[in-house]
Amino acid sequence: FGPTVDVILSKLFPAGFAWQLASSITKADPSSASFALTTGLGEATGVLGGHILYSIIQGAMTKTSVDMDSTIQTAALLATGTICSGCSWQPVVNALQSMDLPFYAVFAGTWIACTFAFNFGLRVARNLYSASMVAVEEPTFDNGKSDFHLSLTIGAATAFFVATDSAYKPAENFLLNVVGISDTDSVIKACLLAGLSTALGFGVAQTLFNILFPVGKCW
C-alpha cells in the first residue's frame, strides 16, 4: 500500500487540485474546447510538477539521490496520459449530463471514457518517448496490461471527480457531503475538495486492486 499512498500524494491530489485551479482561472465557457484544453493541461501540469517535487522531497527526507532524468521522463509519460483524460473529462460529463442520466450513470460513463482516454495517452507516449527516454519502456504486451490496470484506477479518480458537481442530481450524489463543491466555496477550498475527490477515487480503486492482485502484478 506504500506505493499507493505515494501516487496519491504525488500525482492524484495534485491532478484534481490543478484541474480545479485551471477551471477557476480560465474565462472560457465550460462547454468550449478551450475550457477542456485549459483544464486538461492544468491537470497534466499538476501531475508533472507533483511527481517531480514529491521525488525531490522524498529523496531529501530519506537522504537518497534522485535520478532526475528518470524522474522527469516518468513524469512526462504520466502527464501525457493525463492530458488525454483531463481534456476529455468536461466534454464527457457535459454529454452524459445533457442526456439527464442518473448520477450513477454519469459516474460510470466518465470512469469508462476517461479510463480509455488515459490509456490511449500512455500508449501514444510510449511510442513517442521510448526511443529517446531510457525510463520509458517501449510498448509491449506486458506493459500494455499494467498500463490498463493503472488507467482503470485513474478512471476511478475521474469518476469520483464527478461528485464535486453539487448541482447535478444532488439527491443521488453519494459523495456530495464529502467532496461536493458549492458556488460559495473559495477557490482554495474548491481546489482542495477537487484534489480530495481524485485522491479518494484512485485510493478506493487501487486498494481493491491491491487486495485482488499479488504483489508486483498490478502496474
Work out the mean pLDDT of the chain and round it to a whole number.
95
Alpha-carbon distance of 162 to 98, in angstroms, equals 14
Residue (of 2, 19, 6) closest to 53 by Cα position: 6
Strands (E), 51-150: none
Q: What are the distances in angstroms from CA 154 to CA 14, 84, 145, 168?
A: 13, 12, 14, 22
For range 124-137, the mean pLDDT: 97
Residue (of 38, 128, 35) closest to 81 by Cα position: 128
Alpha-carbon distance of 47 to 95, in angstroms, equals 26
For range 17-40, the mean pLDDT: 97
Residue (of 201, 198, 203, 202) closest to 46 by Cα position: 198
Q: What are the distances in angstroms from CA 209 to CA 47, 111, 130, 216?
A: 22, 16, 27, 11
pLDDT at 219: 53
pLDDT at 218: 53
Question: Is residue 213 very low, low, confident or very high in pLDDT (cuts 50, 70, 90)?
Answer: confident
- The pLDDT tens digits of the residues spanning 42-95 come to 999 999 999 999 999 999 999 999 999 999 999 999 999 999 999 999 999 999
pLDDT at 125: 98
Beta-bridged to residue 181, according to DSSP, are: 165
Residue pair 50/14 in contact by the 8 Å Cβ criterion: yes
Name the one residue in this structure whose C-alpha cell is 477537487. 194
Q: What are the distances in angstroms from CA 10 to CA 32, 47, 67, 168?
A: 29, 7, 16, 30
Cα torsion for 4, 196, 27, 151, to the nearest 10°?
A: 30
Alpha-carbon distance of 153 to 44, in angstroms, equals 16
- Which residues, in sequence order, are CB contacts of 53 under 8 Å at separation 6+? 10
User: Packing angle between helix 13-25 and helix 68-98, nearest 10 degrees?
Assistant: 60
Alpha-carbon distance of 83 to 217, in angstroms, equals 26
